Amino acid sequence: MIQVDGKAVPWRKDMTVTALIRALGETYDYPAVRINNRIVSRPHFDQTTVPDGATVYLIPLVAGG
């Protein structure tokens, strides 16, 4: 299992961030996520896998200055 925004979500081997967001049924274009205290931006969603037991936060808005 992994924790996504505080909720338990089933983990799958080789699950990418893109696959995770799809599995959550999310259609919103998240600009970034945080996985185990490390930021991953959307350009890397396809190549980044989520480890088992990870704590994930979906970052809804990057607001800048």
Partner 1 sequence: MTGLIFKEIKATTYQRADIDRGYAGQTLAVDLGTPEIQTVPVTDEMKTRFIGGKGFDLWLLWQAVTGSTRWDDPENAICIACGPMGGTPAYPGSGKSIVTTISPLTKTVIDSNVGGYFGPYLKFSGFDALKITGKAQKDTIVFIDGLEKKIELLTVDGLSDNAYEIAGALTDHFGRGKPGHISVVCTGPGARHTFFGCLNFTWYDAKRKRARYKQAGRGGIGTVFADKGLAAVVVRWDRVPLDVNHPADPEAARAVGKQYSKEIVALDPKQNEMARVGTTHLVPIMNDYDCLPVNNFRYGQHPRADLIGRDVYQHLFDPGFDGCWKGCTVACSHGVKDFVPLTGPFKGQAVFVDGPEYETIAGCGSNLGIFDPFTILEINFYCDNYGLDTISVGTSIAFVMECFEMGLIDQRQSGGLSLSFGQRDSALELVHQMGRGEGFGKIVGQGVRRMKKIFADEFGADPGILEDIGMESKGLEFSEYMTKESLAQQGGYGLALKGPQHDEAWLIFLDMVHNLMPTFEQKADNLHWFPMWRTWFSLCGLCKLPWNDIVPEDNKDTTEPARVMKHIQWYAEYFSAVTGRKSTPDDLVVMSEAVYNFQRIFNLRMGFGRREHDTLPYRAMGPVTVEEYESRRKRYDTQLEEIHGVDITGREAAEKVALLRKFREAQYEKLKGVVYQRRGWTKDGIPTVATVKKLGIDFPEVLEVLKENGVTA
Q: Which residues bind partner 1 (CB under 8 A)?
A: 5-6, 28-29, 31-32, 38-39, 41-44, 57, 59-65
Three-state SS string over the chain comes to: CEEECCEEECCCCCCEHHHHHHHCCCCCCCCEEEECCEEEEHHHCCCCECCCCCEEEEECCCCCC
Between residues 8 and 63, which has the closer beta carbon with respect to partner 1? 63
Give the shortest CB-13-to-partner 1 separation in angstroms.
Answer: 25
Q: Which is nearer to partner 1, 14 or 29 (CB)?
A: 29
Give whichever of 13 and 64 is closer to partner 1, judged by the CB atom: 64
